[in-house]
């Protein structure tokens, strides 16, 4: 179950289903970013690029590699919580996150309990994605063969 949790966390890192979120700035705000001064006006929209944070090697070394060990008990403390945002951040973060995590793990538990998975001639490796803004969609879907487990 621990490894299933790590795998789900890593899948949400590499392919966050909600790749960005936004906030409306409610008052003028000044901040320093990489040595530059940045002014945000009240009523400006700010986009938070979840996908880009998750693929930034400053925060996730070797970001293209699918590596559930990033979320092991020893390693997960190294992740800055402000850079891992599959369910957003702050008081308006995703209200359904616990339900979604439970649903994903239950779904995979029963699938893996009853079936083994194999690549077939239609399986695309590596997976290719459509360039649709604000959405993550594979070009041809995800094709795999499921074989019932005998035991």
Which residues make up each annotated binding site for heme? 94
Contact criterion met (CB below 8 Å) for 114 and 139:
no
Give the count of beta carbons closer than 10 Å to the beta carbon of residue 118.
10
* DSSP states of 82-93: TT--TT--GGGS
| By the rule CB under 6 A, 11 interacts with ligand HEM | no
| By the rule CB under 6 A, 78 interacts with ligand HEM | no
Least CB distance from residue 117 to ligand HEM, whole Å? 20
Which of residues 81, 96, 126, 133 is near ligand HEM by CB under 6 A?
96
| By the rule CB under 6 A, 100 interacts with ligand HEM | yes
Cis before 126? omega within 30: yes
| By the rule CB under 6 A, 124 interacts with ligand HEM | no
Q: Which of these ranges, 54-62, 65-73, 74-82, 94-102, lies near ligand HEM under the rule CB under 6 A?
A: 94-102
Q: Please provide residue 92's backbone torsions phi and psi, each rounded to the nearest 5 degrees.
A: -105, 30
| By the rule CB under 6 A, 87 interacts with ligand HEM | yes
Least CB distance from residue 8 to ligand HEM, whole Å? 9
CA distances, 53 to each of 17, 19, 38, 123 (Å): 14, 10, 19, 28
| By the rule CB under 6 A, 93 interacts with ligand HEM | yes
Least CB distance from residue 91 to ligand HEM, whole Å? 7
Contact criterion met (CB below 8 Å) for 103 and 111:
no
């Amino acid at each position: 179950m621990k490894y299933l949790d790590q795998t789900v966390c890593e899948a949400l890192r590499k392919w966050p289903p909600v790749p960005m979120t936004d906030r409306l700035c409610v008052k003028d705000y000044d901040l320093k970013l990489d040595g530059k001064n940045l002014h945000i006006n009240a009523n400006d929209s700010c986009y938070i690029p979840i996908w880009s944070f998750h693929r930034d090697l400053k925060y996730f070394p070797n970001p293209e590699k699918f590596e559930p060990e990033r979320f092991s008990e020893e390693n997960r403390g190294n992740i800055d919580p402000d850079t891992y945002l599959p369910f957003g951040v702050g008081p308006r973060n995703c209200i359904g996150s616990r339900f979604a995590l439970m649903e994903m793990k239950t779904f995979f538990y029963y699938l893996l309990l009853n079936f083994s998975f194999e690549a077939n001639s239609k399986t695309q490796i590596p997976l290719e994605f459509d360039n649709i803004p604000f959405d993550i969609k594979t070009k041809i879907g995800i094709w795999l063969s499921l074989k019932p487990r005998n035991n």
